[in-house]
Structure 1
């Protein structure tokens, strides 16, 4: 067993937590009655931890063969959870992880004493993020875990092992979870414990397993009820229980859940809290250092988004309708839809005008599987075609597809690798065709489109085309550097000539904000002069950081 927490133990913790929540999320969903009986707490926690795990893996990949610093991995876990936090429970978990990571510093060993202090720091940080804390919830379970960790570790041991602290925290969390029905009437009436607290017990059990080299898999299973008897409440009785006079409940409460990331300073966020608290309930604002996750239940989602816009820059916006406070009832699905992941607002508008649904992939923030799955579900269509437009999204897209298929949606995943391939596929989409025929036609169009992008080199480095210097223009064809140039227009023309040497009928140019004025027209003229019978279309894509994307069909 490790004497201190390190990067490897955090990585293992993420993997075990994700695996455990994957096994138990349906159980947790089934006991979700507070604050809204919408049966998604387990799923929200799973998606939040999935995002945290992806961020941790990204740090390991960046370090190459070296093991990352513990602080870097711990901060990445917290930051990833914040980016991917879903629902009330995910937002609180992200704040708990942020509270733990706040104590990471060079020269401070992450031993058992550190872990105890981290848990005691995290619990009040999460409580402060909630506008109106309620006992008998995930906050109570976090407090139970922190208290059990003790001021100097389990049983007042002055030098406890991290595994001992984690086991004590897990035991304290289980004890606090079992007490939640006595603290919250909605839980007692439904005969269940708090769903968010149950998920936190699972996450802490994974931490204990990560630190003691395995341990009992039973502790990864959330407590489903305060007694050994099975949970027999139906979704309807759970909804009635949740409506028992509490202002933070589903039945008779606000109709929408609004969640978004927000770039803003702390002063603006304080004002935002006051405004959102007046608009609705279940308000949780986690984060800090300029990036926040906002979660609130409101009747007017437009007002909640407007408040965010006045405070800063909201993005990754999610709006969910609670269907009048009852458990979510799926309307009959019909028709066909196309969902694309796109790297810029201009491309999103272009695809939306063509009738598609888009997921925006902001710079440095690739969408998690939950965000893609939500877009698939939001179409309301019986048949959906998904175009991820990025090889890095292959795993997330596959998970999203499986989630949608579980909900009864027929989904085809076309493995597009670039936005221009997605545009080509969308251009031949015909919803009146049979589904299989439409998918084949779209796949063929995407496959027949070669793609390239122009980027600026950030540092001197080796490439497949030779050595580049900082500031050089790199022309990447199919992901590999093919051209190194001094200025954008000439390098782009060289890339076009190479791509059109093997033929082509249509060139698509997608300009980013960094593209100089007149670039599109200059390249259109170049194609017209040097490549007869080739048409060119130009779009303002809004993507970052590439000033130019190129497609050749």
Structure 2
């Protein structure tokens, strides 16, 4: 193949997905940086899969290579997972933005250079010895081969061969990877994608032996110690009138690390590890926010190491950004509805996938329309929507699911739940009286007393002591401030 055309770009997208599906276990196995959570291969696979899905909405006829590449990159950006997925999506974006209608070796070499620059520019703190260094090396190798007169297939084959030879040395440049004696997982994923491109252009297929260079067994466990923040926040931010890239980079860098902002043309995907998810969500109000997802960095993710491990995944939907960290701390993948956009079936499907579980309980609260939930269940029969239609019921169910292997305890907790609502003005004595009223009517052992607070304040300062003195064994679980709803809502399970 002398030129990269629309059909070849489509074939590349599909070949990349197939190759990543075959290699994700091995890439997950070497994932120790930036967080050793064994999901880089899966994250890049899900990212590229989103790009392939986007191509289904693009007519095959009358499309050139640039159109197909941009659609592929746009879908990958919207579906990007994790640090490496975000970087790969921006790499594809940089490649697509430089690609002409058809591309020869010189054109593709320029695209690979633009892709490397775009990926590096997406990171607030670019790290050497990683996927970014490999991307730079690939760009140099491509330019050298094209300048030497190589045709497209020969150039790409040479680039991939050079990248394989350079990978170990590049990874050894990073102190964490050098200490762990592993290749950079993100660089491995990018090399799989580039190898797929070279094979498509060269007329080959991605055979099993093409992945033999990747490790076949997991590395020894590496301690998960997130330095920049306990929570991963990902969201899309749109603006038709302004370039938000720099402002979002600066805002997120002030709140955590592993900051990546990718995209353009009116839509950006933001990624950050932070201890303050609500602040990160608020900092993105400079644009139209949607697909806001929060989860524990050290929690179970959609990696091959966690799928079908017997647990019940949990998706929580809330309109309270202030509660996102609390829900995520229970192990839930948390979707936050912002005023600018509703939670859609696509957002729910992404969250269900990101639990990494086969069976998933969905707690919709009052944040999701019924038709979106119906559509989710139709496409994901293993996703069960629980009767949790307000914030208190979501909180109670999330607590019950945190230590459960299935949704049974949550169903029981919701069935038993009784509540009392307090309006302003709220005083310590009115809270104690409301708790007394609920506890006096308890027909059996009290499982928990959950208290939802709208506002921060000293209202509950003495509640725990009062309950210890007058209701032995009952301790309140305080959730909030929620920033919405009644002043105080007390639930008895």
Shift of 1:17: 0.8
Q: Which residue of 2 aligns with 1:14?
A: 13
Distance 1:383 1:23, change over 3 A: farther
Q: What do the CA deviations read for 1:355-410 (whole angstroms, capped 9, x no partner)? A: xx9898979994595443126859975999xx996999899x46xx7xxxxxxxxx
Shift of 1:184: 1.1
Match of 1:90 among 85, 97, 118: 85
Shift of 1:113: 1.2
Aligned-partner Cα distance in 2 for 1:142–1:295:
20
Native 8 Å contact 2:345 2:376 kept in 1: no
Match of 2:219 among 221, 225, 233: 233
Q: Which residue of 2 aligns with 1:156?
A: 148
Native 8 Å contact 1:95 1:125 kept in 2: yes
Cα RMSD between the aligned structures?
4.4
Are 1:125 and 2:115 matched, yes or no? Answer: no
Q: Which residue of 2 aligns with 1:77?
A: 72
Aligned-partner Cα distance in 2 for 1:22–1:261:
25
Shift of 1:268: 3.9
Q: Which residue of 2 aligns with 1:198?
A: 188
Matches within 5 A, 1:98-247: 98-105=93-100, 109-151=102-144, 153=146, 156-157=148-149, 160-215=150-205, 217=207, 220-221=210-211, 223-224=213-214, 233-235=219-221, 238-239=222-223
Which segments of 5 or more consecutive residues in structure 2 lack a partner in the other structure? 320-333, 365-369, 386-399, 401-405, 409-493
Aligned-partner Cα distance in 2 for 1:394–1:209:
38
Matches within 5 A, 1:22-37: 22-37=21-36
Shift of 1:144: 1.5
Aligned-partner Cα distance in 2 for 1:9–1:24:
22
Aligned-partner Cα distance in 2 for 1:149–1:277:
33
Q: Which residue of 2 aligns with 1:542?
A: none
Native 8 Å contact 2:130 2:170 kept in 1: yes
Which segments of 5 or more consecutive residues in structure 1 lack a partner in the other structure? 241-249, 345-356, 402-410, 415-430, 437-553
Native 8 Å contact 1:47 1:86 kept in 2: yes
Shift of 1:72: 1.2
Secondary structure of 2:261's counterpart equals: strand
Shift of 1:258: 0.8
Aligned-partner Cα distance in 2 for 1:292–1:336:
28
Aligned-partner Cα distance in 1 for 2:312–2:375:
29
Are 1:322 and 2:271 matched, yes or no? Answer: no
Aligned-partner Cα distance in 2 for 1:391–1:3:
48
Native 8 Å contact 1:13 1:206 kept in 2: yes
Q: What do the CA deviations read for 1:169-189 (whole angstroms, capped 9, x no partner)? A: 222322332213321121122
Matches within 5 A, 1:385-464: 397=379, 411=382
The TM-score, its normalising length taken from structure 2, stands at 0.64
Match of 1:276 among 252, 257, 282: 252
Native 8 Å contact 1:224 1:231 kept in 2: no
Shift of 1:413: 8.2
Aligned-partner Cα distance in 2 for 1:435–1:369:
19
Tell me the matched-pair count: 369
Native 8 Å contact 1:333 1:382 kept in 2: no
Aligned-partner Cα distance in 2 for 1:55–1:285:
20
Q: What do the CA deviations read for 1:191-244 (whole angstroms, capped 9, x no partner)? A: 21000000001001111111111156357427436xxxx766321xx227xxxx
Secondary structure of 2:117's counterpart equals: helix
Q: Which residue of 1 aligns with 2:354?
A: 374
Native 8 Å contact 1:141 1:174 kept in 2: no
Matches within 5 A, 1:45-56: 45-56=44-55
